Amino acid sequence: MTDSDLSLDPVVDPAAMRKQYRAQGLDAKELAAHPMDQFSRWFEDAARAAVHGTLYEPNAMVVSTADATGRPSSRTVLMKQYDTDGFVFYTNYDSRKARELAANPYVSLLFPWHPIARQVIVTGVARRTGREESAAYFRLRPHGSQLGAWASAQSSVLMSRDELDAAYAELGARYPEGEQVPVPPHWGGFRIAPETVEFWQGRENRMHDRLRYVARPDGAWDVERLSP
């Protein structure tokens, strides 16, 4: 199929794809004083949409990092906790994102809630969670996920899928269902302390609402409206 063939079919032509957002607007006067309280409101909306089958995995977020030379990389992870101190996710500390965060702790998060025409964009600084906090969450994970944290040397090159499956099977034999799996020393959480939090509400004719909280040195937050 040639480029000209693709351009004739609006189903597969990105330039022909259109979606009008007719959602209710976002007024600065209605925002919570703290961005994490506002996030809680929107996350509850996203979670309810997921219950009704409208949205998939509301806690999925795109984490963007950059290495010491400034080269960026992105991936989707699952946010597992949020509070006034920020957002928490868990990973292998030898993974690409963890190694990049060790060299450059500045990070961006994106919650892409497309079905409800909303996004939340966060910039901030990542720090490792404490060992006890990481261990407490690890013990809440399903048994298979605990084994997977040991079996996968995340981001490393594999010779084949068989290599990964064999490692998982060996761990399954060593730690059968019902037996406690030790917490890997190379596994744990990151907490992202936000410096800016933008709430993006899709509006008709691409006239979107974008309201961004910006942290002040005294711990308070300013809110600014951005042009769409």
Which residues does the annotation mark as catalytic? 206
Q: Which residues contact 116 (CB under 8 A, 6 or more apart)?
A: 23, 45, 46, 49, 54, 55
- For 180, other C-beta atoms within 10 Å of its C-beta total 9
Q: Among residues 219, 214, 208, 206, which one has the least CA distance to residue 18?
A: 206
Within 10 angstroms of residue 166's Cβ, the number of other Cβ atoms is 12
Beta-carbon contacts of 154 under 8 Å, excluding residues fewer than 6 positions away, are 91, 92, 94, 95, 96
What are the start-end ranges of the E strands in 114-164?
Answer: 118-128
